[in-house]
Structures are given as C-alpha cells and as structure tokens.
Structure 1
Amino acid sequence: MGFPSPAQDYVEAPLSLDELCIRRKAATYMMRADSTMLHAGIFKDAILVVDASQKAVHGSIVVAEVDGCRYIRRLHLYPQPGLERLDSGYIELVDIQDDDTGGGVQIFGVVTFCVNDMCSGEFDDTPVM
C-alpha cells in the first residue's frame, strides 16, 4: 500500500489518433499522397485523412474525381469554380457536380488531416519554399 503519487492529478489519457482525426468513422478514408505538394504541407507518401461527409468550401484541400480518377486539389469556388494543382498552382476551371448525374467533377471528400513522415524527408538547404 502506501500513499498515492502527488503527480496522479496530472496524469493524462493516452493520445488516440482515431479520436483526434476521425469525426465520422463511416465516412472517413485514408489514402497516401503519391507526390509532394509543399504548398499544402503534404510530402510524398504522407497519410491523408479524407472525410467524405464534410462539405468542401472555398480553399479546402479535396479529393476530386475527374473521369474516374481521383486527384488531390485545392477547391476554388470564387470567382469561378476551379481546382488548383498543389504542385504548380495552376487552376483548371471545372463544372462541379453535387450528385452522380455524370459529367463534370465530383468532390469525393475533404482532406482533414495529413500525417507526414518527418524522418525520411529529403534535406533541402534552401530556406525558401
């Protein structure tokens, strides 16, 4: 037996990435980034948490489906709807569909979190991004 530890009041619950990153389990997907997108803070092979139930707004990083292929882009709604490539900044004007009627671009989900592997990143001695 003995006395309780004085630090017992400061014990915190263990961190859970599920609790931190997932709001709706049934609508959450994880995917790997196939390339580096420094403007969005995404490294190659980063794990992206994608919420398919979250509404995309102007400036959201989204997974967009174009002709059956999925791409990671930044959504622009103003002044015209478009998808910005995160590697070059090029904005392609598109017709965004809210349903499965075909044609145009569908937003599959919003990227809510990114988990980068900081140990395997390439060394870059240029201090400017």
Structure 2
Amino acid sequence: MFLRKSPVGWPSPADDYSEDYINLNKHLIKNPASTYLMRISGSSMMSAGINNESILIVDRSINPKNNNVVIALHDGSFICRRLRTCPVLELISNDMAETSINIDHEEGIEIIGVVLAAINQY
C-alpha cells in the first residue's frame, strides 16, 4: 500500500507522486507488546463506527479515561462499551435498548484495554 495525499474529489491524473509505503503498524500501534487485534460481533457500538465483524485494535497499556471505548470482561465474556466515569463509573452501549453496566456495583468486571481503532470492510 502507498500513502498518497489527495484532496476530497478527483485527484489530478498527472499526479504520479506517492510518498511512501503505508505501514499500518506504525500508524495504528504505539505499543506492540501490549496491543492485540480482536474481531467484534454485534451491533451495539455501530454509532461509534464499530460494526459487526469489525477488527478492533486494543491497547492494554493505556489507562482508560472518560468516554474511551474499551474492552471489558463481564460475566466471562468480552464486551465493547464506552466508559463513563461521571457521575458514576459505568460501561455504556451506544445501542439505547441496552442498559448500562454500573462498574461500582457489579463484581467481576475488568477493563481489559482501550480501543484505538476499528477496521471495517465494505
């Protein structure tokens, strides 16, 4: 793959210049030792750009902050949710039909990592 800057619209046919190869690891992975890929199933985070069968890039070394999309272990299953820290610590689905999970009152919830990117295929 090549990296090429192009304006929105149709690029000039005379523009044969390309910068360099795109190294997705360099652009998307900051800490390889703590980063892994995870395929997601379900549609609860579609409004966040995470579709069914998206591949997520997850980093375990990042301390999760308010509004980060995270992977958590809940009741023995991995889930993808948005972290909200105020007024209470909870995991929120972007699907309004699903209820939030209050981390302060539930046992056995562990935040595994912060989602850095979602790779979607069309």
TM-score bracket, shorter-length normalisation: 0.7 to 0.9
| CA apart distance, 1:49 | 0.2
Counterpart of 2:59? 51
Counterpart of 2:28? 21
Tell me which of 95, 114, 128 is aligned to 2:118. Answer: 114
**TM-score by structure 2 length?**
0.77
Check conservation: 1:95, 1:105, Cα contact below 8 A.
Answer: no
| CA apart distance, 1:95 | 2.4
Check conservation: 1:62, 1:75, Cα contact below 8 A.
Answer: yes
Tell me which of 80, 83, 93 is aligned to 2:91. Answer: 83
Pair 1:68-2:76 in alignment: yes
Q: Which has the larger radius of gyration?
A: 1
CA RMSD of aligned residues (A): 2.0
| CA apart distance, 1:59 | 0.4
Q: Aligned partners of 2:38, 2:93: CA distance in 1, in Å?
A: 18
**TM-score by structure 1 length?**
0.73
| CA apart distance, 1:55 | 1.0
Check conservation: 1:30, 1:49, Cα contact below 8 A.
Answer: yes
Paired letter, 1:113? A
Is the partner of 2:95 in helix, strand or coil? coil
Check conservation: 2:88, 2:104, Cα contact below 8 A.
Answer: no
| CA apart distance, 1:47 | 0.6
The unaligned stretches of length 5 or more in structure 1 are 1-6, 97-102, 119-129
| CA apart distance, 1:39 | 1.8
| CA apart distance, 1:67 | 2.8
Deviates more, 1:84-93 or 1:13-22: 84-93
Is the partner of 1:18 in helix, strand or coil? helix
Share of identical aligned residues, percent?
A: 34
